[in-house]
Structure 1
């Protein structure tokens, strides 16, 4: 369980905001082959996932007592979300609500839902919640739509790969996010120190970016 944790180096853009409210994860795979750390620590699980190609991403995810996930919707409609209860409170005070419909996790039971609908989760049961969290390929009516979905998974979603440890791959989106977030932290400190200076620097930067874009064309 100690391997299920929040990102330590601002290298998980997709779930960064969830770590602040207690949610934790251990990646098994993310739109590609299994994470090396997962193959080492969870060989049977990663081998099982390898035999189910429709599962594009998978992780173990915990929601400790007192934790919550704020209302949100996922932007990528190429998959459906599946949760399998592994070690749950089996209590209605530990739940997820999707589009106004509430579901409480139970050990050994699964639920499949569309993550593009607004959803949130909360645990006030007094116990931790552990689930297997998977992104399952969304069925497409047309072959061209399926081909587009596969391309997005290989090229866009895989770029959001985040590591469990230093031996795992970091996708391009998260490599960039690590630096962008550091700039954001500096900006917050500057704003708290002097708002006038903050806005001057902000608009100088925006102006510089606009000039670069204009010159590019």
Structure 2
């Protein structure tokens, strides 16, 4: 989820207690176990798997991200109230995925290609990055 206003808390209430029932957060697997919790930054790419035959019951909670300043907290609460539906994920059959969440998937895929390009040749990556930034600035200036 692209909105960084909260942290996610998952508590295993009734789980298969098996490594095949897990959530993957930023490439790292966390197996759900009865009575055990996982808290993570929701901006990391995450997806859930249950490759067992048993059902799982997980308590999901969004915990408001701590903010240092009151104005930042007010902005955070406004965004949470008005943008969360645009970034929603389906939880049940028939639930819609929010437009921001759908777009974020494409941004993540593009980011994977960008990181692979950077690993391939960091110098060429840096030159390409500067050229693209200059090109975008030029196009904006031309408007």
Give CA deviations for 1:81-103 in whole Å, capped at 9, x if unaligned: 11011110000011111112210
Alpha-carbon distance, 1:158 to partner: 6.2
Q: Which residue of 2 aligns with 1:156?
A: 83
Q: Which residue of 1 aligns with 2:50?
A: 123
Q: Which residue of 1 aligns with 2:70?
A: 143
The alignment partner of 1:108 has SS state of coil
CA distance, structure 1, for counterparts of residue 81 and residue 44 of structure 2:
24
CA distance, structure 2, for counterparts of residue 158 and residue 123 of structure 1:
26
The two structures, once aligned, show a CA RMSD in angstroms of 2.7
Change (3 A) 1:119 1:142: same
Segments of structure 2 that go 5 or more residues without pairing to the other structure are 89-95, 100-143
The alignment partner of 1:140 has SS state of coil
Relative to the length of structure 1, the TM-score reads 0.38
CA distance, structure 2, for counterparts of residue 117 and residue 154 of structure 1:
21
Tell me, yes or no, if structure 1 residue 90 matches structure 2 residue 17.
yes
Tell me, yes or no, if structure 1 residue 113 matches structure 2 residue 43.
no
CA distance, structure 2, for counterparts of residue 159 and residue 119 of structure 1:
18
Alpha-carbon distance, 1:157 to partner: 2.7
Which structure features the higher share of helix residues? 2
Segments of structure 1 that go 5 or more residues without pairing to the other structure are 1-73, 162-173, 178-217
Alpha-carbon distance, 1:118 to partner: 1.3
The 5 A counterparts of 1:76-87 are: 76-87=3-14
Give CA deviations for 1:56-94 in whole Å, capped at 9, x if unaligned: xxxxxxxxxxxxxxxxxx021101111011110000011
Number of aligned residue pairs = 93
Relative to the length of structure 2, the TM-score reads 0.56
